[in-house]
Amino acid sequence: MFYQLYELNHAAMAPFRAAADIMRFAYANPLNPFSHTPLGRTMAASLEMFERTTRRYGKPEFGLKQTTIGDQMVFVREEVVWSRPFCNLLHFARNVPPAARGNDPRILIVAPMSGHYATLLRGTVEALLPSADVYITDWIDARMVPMTEGRFDFDDYVDYVIEMLHFLGHDTHVIAVCQPSVPVLAAAAVMEEANDPLSPASMTLMGGPIDTRINPTAVNKLAQERSLQWFSDNVIMNVPWPQPGFMRPVYPGFLQLSGFMSMNLDRHLVAHKEFFMHLVKNDGEPEKHRDFYDEYLAVMDLTAEFYLQTVEQVFIKHSLPKGELMHRGKRVDPAAIRKVALLTVEGENDDISGVGQTKAAQTICVNIPADMRMHYLQPDVGHYGVFNGSRFRREIAPRILDFVRQHSRSAVKPPVPRVIKGGRTA
Q: How many domains does the structure of the chain reveal?
A: 2
Asked if residue 226 is part of any domain, the answer here is no
pLDDT band at 102 (very low <50, low <70, confident <90, very high): low
Asked if residue 243 is part of any domain, the answer here is no
Distance of CA 238 to the CA centre of its chain: 23
| Average pLDDT, integer, range 339-351 | 95
- Residues forming a β-bridge with 175: 109, 204
Asked if residue 240 is part of any domain, the answer here is no
pLDDT at residue 352 tops 80: yes
Computed on alpha carbons and rounded to an integer, the radius of gyration of the chain in Å comes to: 23
Provide the residue type at 269 as one letter: L
Model's pTM, two decimal places?
0.88
Question: pLDDT tens, 10-27?
Answer: 788 888 888 988 888 888
Question: pLDDT tens, 56-77?
Answer: 888 889 999 999 888 888 999 9
Q: What is the 3-state secondary structure (H, E, C) of the chain?
A: CHHHHHHHHHHHHHHHHHHHHHHHHHHHCCCCHHHHCHHHHHHHHHHHHHHHHHCCCCCCCCCCCEEEECCEEEEEEEEEEEEECCEEEEEEEECCCHHHHCCCCEEEEECCCCCECHHHHHHHHHHHHHHCEEEEEEECCHHHCCHHHCCCCHHHHHHHHHHHHHHHCCCEEEEEECCCHHHHHHHHHHHHHCCCCCCCCEEEEECCCCCCCCCCCHHHHHHHHCCHHHHHHHHCEECCCCCCCCCCEEECHHHHHHHHHHHCHHHHHHHHHHHHHHHHHCCCCHHHHHHHHHHHCCECCEEHHHHHHHHHHHHHCCHHHHCCCEECCEECCHHHCCCCEEEEEEECCCCCCCCCCCCHHHHHCCCCCHHHEEEEEECCCCCHHHCCCHHHHHHHHHHHHHHHHHCCCCCCCCCCCCCEECCEEC
Residue 252 near residue 3 (C-beta atoms within 8 A): yes
pLDDT at residue 426 tops 70: no
- Residues 273 and 55: their CA atoms lie apart, in Å, by 18
What is the phi/psi pair of residue 425, to 5°?
Answer: -85, 130
- Residues 356 and 378: their CA atoms lie apart, in Å, by 12
114-123 core/surface letters (b: 16 or more CB in 10 A; e: else): bbbbbbbbbb
Asked if residue 272 is part of any domain, the answer here is yes
- Residues 240 and 242: their CA atoms lie apart, in Å, by 6
On whether both 72 and 164 belong to a single domain, the answer is: yes
Asked if residue 237 is part of any domain, the answer here is no
On whether both 95 and 166 belong to a single domain, the answer is: yes
Question: pLDDT tens, 105-148?
Answer: 999 999 998 888 899 999 999 999 999 999 999 999 999 999 99
| Average pLDDT, integer, range 288-314 | 89
- Give the per-residue pLDDT at 359: 96
On whether both 125 and 274 belong to a single domain, the answer is: no
On whether both 284 and 319 belong to a single domain, the answer is: no
In this structure, the number of other CB atoms found within 10 A of the CB of residue 352 comes to 22
On whether both 88 and 17 belong to a single domain, the answer is: no
| Average pLDDT, integer, range 179-195 | 96
On whether both 313 and 193 belong to a single domain, the answer is: yes
Of 51, 46, 43, the residue nearest 17 (C-alpha): 51
Q: Which of 2-16, 283-297, 376-390, 411-425 shows the lowest per-residue confidence on average (mean pLDDT)?
A: 411-425
Domain containing 348 equals 66-221+302-412+419-425
Name the maximum alpha-carbon separation found in the chain: 73
Question: pLDDT tens, 215-232?
Answer: 988 888 878 888 889 888
Asked if residue 145 is part of any domain, the answer here is yes
Asked if residue 72 is part of any domain, the answer here is yes
On whether both 48 and 90 belong to a single domain, the answer is: no
Provide the mean pLDDT of the chain. Answer: 89
- Residues 363 and 165: their CA atoms lie apart, in Å, by 24
| Average pLDDT, integer, range 31-49 | 87
In this structure, the number of other CB atoms found within 10 A of the CB of residue 91 comes to 21
Distance of CA 145 to the CA centre of its chain: 19
pLDDT at residue 423 tops 80: no
pLDDT at residue 321 tops 50: yes
CATH number at residue 317: 3.40.50.1820
pLDDT at residue 422 tops 90: no
On whether both 308 and 343 belong to a single domain, the answer is: yes
Pairing of strands 72-84, 420-421: parallel
Asked if residue 183 is part of any domain, the answer here is yes
On whether both 344 and 266 belong to a single domain, the answer is: no
Q: Which of 164-168, 197-201, 267-271, 375-379 shows the lowest per-residue confidence on average (mean pLDDT)?
A: 267-271
Angle (CA) 365 366 368, round 5°: 75
Domain end among 244, 270, 296: 296
